[in-house]
Amino acid sequence: MDFDFTEEQRDFRSALRTLVDNDIIPVANEWERSGRYPTEIVEKLKTMGLFGITTPEQYGGMAVDKVTFTLVYEELARGWMGIAGILGSHNLSCWMIDRHGTTEQKDRWLPRLATGEARTGIGLTEPGAGTDLQGISTTARRDGDVYVVNGTKTWITNARHADVLPVLVKTDPAASPRHRGMSLLLIDTKTPGFEVQRDLGKLGYKGTESCEILMTDVRVPVTDLLGGAEGLGMKQALSGLEIGRLNIAGRSVGIAQASYDAALKYAREREAFGKPIADFQAIQLKLADIATQLQAARLMTYWAAAKADTGARVDMEAGMAKYFASETAITASLEAMRVHGGYGYSTEFDVERYYRDAPLMSIGEGTNDIMRTIIAKSLVSGSGIIA
C-alpha cells in the first residue's frame, strides 16, 4: 500500500498551496463580508488550467487523475470553500459533457470550457425536488426541431456566470418509471426566456452565487439534447455524482485541515494563567481528536479517489468518504471554535467561517442520510465488500 502522493501530485499540491496562501486566504474574510465576487482569483484559476481538470487534453484540458482532482478541492477549500464551489459545478458539467455528449457538443463547448473562457454549472435541483430528482416538474416539449422548456431551478451554482447549463428536464412527463422520461439539455444561458431571478441568501458558502432560475418557453435546439437520445438524463446526472462526492469529500478535508491549523496555532499563542493554553490537557484532548479524525477522513477520501482511478465503480467508497469527511469537517470546525473561546465567535477569526461552511458538505451531492443508504445497499447486495 502506498499512502503518499506521486512527485507530480506533490508539485501540483505545492503550486495550489502557493495560490491559496498568497491569493485566497489573505482576502477571503474581507471579500466574503463585502459580498465581493472573487474575479481576480477566478482569473488565476484559469491561468493554472483548473477549469479543465476533467476535460481531455484533445480539447485543451488536463484530465487529471481522480486523486489529483480531489486534491484540488482539498487545497482550495482550505483557503475558502466558496472558491472550490466555483470549480466544482463547472468541472462536473465538463465531465458529463465529455462522458455523454455527442461529438458536436464536445467540439462546440469543451475547448472553451477547459480554459475558463466559457463557464458552466449544472441545473438539477428544484424548489420541490432536491434529493428526489425524479420529482422535478421542469418540462421540455418537443416542437419540431426544438424543445420548449418551462420550469424553475434553484440553488444553482455559477448561474450568473454560466454560458451553458446542463438542465435536467422531463421530455416525457407520463413515462413510467419516471426516470425514463428525463433528459439533460445543454441550454445556452443567453436564450430568450432563460432568466436568473435572484441570489439566495446563505449561512456560508459565500464567494460563489447560488441562484434561482426561471425558464419560460425557452426554445432549445434538439441538437442540444445531451448525448442525442431522450430518457437518459437521470442516468447521466447520477453518473457524475461519484466524482462529485469525491469533490465534496476533498472540500470537507480542506475545511477540517483549516480548522485544525487554526486551533493549533491559537492554542500555542493564547496564554491563560501564565502559560499557553496548549499546555492544558483539556485543549490537548481537543487537538488530538481533531487531528485523528482529520487524518482518518483524508485517508478514506484518497482511498476512494485511488479506487476510482482504477475505473471501478465507487458508489460505496465515495459515499463513505463524503459521509465521514463532511461529518469530520463539522466536528473539527466546532471544536476549533471552542479552542478559540469567545474569539471563535468573532468574524475577525477564520474559524467562524469554517463553522458556517462545513454543514453544506453534509448536504451537497446527496445528504449524509442518503450516503448511509447507498453504503448499506452496497453492503447488502455484496458489491461493497469490507474485509
Give the active site residues. Answer: 365
CB 128 within 8 A of CB 84: no
CB proximity list for 255: less than 8 A, separation 6 or greater? 77, 78, 81, 329, 332, 333, 354, 357, 358, 361
Spatial contact of 149 and 216, defined as CB atoms under 8 Å apart: no
CB neighbour class for 85 (10 Å; exposed up to 12, middle 13-18, buried from 19):
buried
Q: Which residue has the cell 435536467?
A: 168
Q: Cell for 170?
A: 422531463
Instruction: Return the DSSP state at 231.
Output: T
Q: Tell me the C-alpha distance between 223 and 332, whole Å.
A: 47
Question: Which string of DSSP letters, residue by residue, matches 251-273?
Answer: HHHHHHHHHHHHHHHHHHH-EET
What lies within 8 Å, CB to CB, of 220 at 6+ separation is 140, 146, 147, 148, 149, 185, 186, 187, 188, 191
Angle at which helices 81-100 and 39-47 cross, to 10°: 50
How many Cβ atoms sit within 10 Å of the Cβ of residue 368?
16
Q: Do 196 and 160 touch, CB atoms closer than 8 A? A: yes
